[in-house]
Amino acid sequence: MTSYNFHLMFFTYTFQFTACLRSVLLFLLLLALSGCQSPLKNKPVNSGQSVFFSPDRIRTIAVIPLNGANAKRAREMTRELTVQILQLNRFEVVDHYKVATLVEDEGLEGIDLSDTLVKNISNKLKADAILLGEITSFQEPESPYPILRKSPLIALSLRIVTSDPTEPKTIWSLNDTFDSKDRQVKQYVSRSERGKLAKDPSFLIHIVAKEIAKTFSF
């Protein structure tokens, strides 16, 4: 082997080794950077409390049936909210039958009830506060074919009103949308449950009600 060929082979191998080393170092750098990224957090619930909020005065809540174009899902969400509030072991919830009867008798509808109606409801149900609202949007999967199926989505507008004898006040409100394909919404459940979340509207309702109830832990 001539000296020229030897040097040519040496530089070729050196170049290949350097290129390979750079690739390895780049891979390790990318791996390190991905490990430094903050884990994705749960979607925060867009709710808030007013300056009039006095948690010590609230012991009993009446959950008024939610309104919404999709009556079936509105009933589901009403039931789930009731269950999740009870599981906080913080409040008593007025029997849903009593609430439903009063709503039917009074012909109540919508979330903008007058002060007089709020007082009447609270007095008749012996509640310290009432939770009312509506499902402003609900997206059903609809198609049985996965490629055409939409992800379940629910949007809500809720509020809690006190039974103040002089002037009922909104002490808590929520206006939010929960899309099952949202990465932060997926963080509410384990990886094994995300497939169910993407296709089961009832499961989404259950999870959303649970997250909403957490904001009542005053």
Per-residue pLDDT of the chain (218 residues; tens, 9 = 90+): 555 454 445 445 554 545 555 665 666 666 555 555 567 788 999 998 887 677 778 899 999 999 898 999 999 999 999 999 999 998 999 998 888 888 777 766 655 566 667 777 888 888 898 898 999 999 988 766 667 778 899 999 999 988 776 677 888 999 999 999 999 999 999 999 999 999 999 999 999 999 999 998 66
Give the burial class of 16: count Cβ atoms within 10 A of its Cβ; 0-12 exposed, 13-18 middle, 19 or more buried: exposed
In 3D space, the residue among 211, 206, 204, 164 whose CA is nearest the CA of residue 79 turns out to be 206
Which residue shows structure tokens 């929520």? 174
How many Å apart are CA 131 and CA 215, to the nearest integer?
13
In 3D space, the residue among 139, 160, 162 whose CA is nearest the CA of residue 150 turns out to be 139
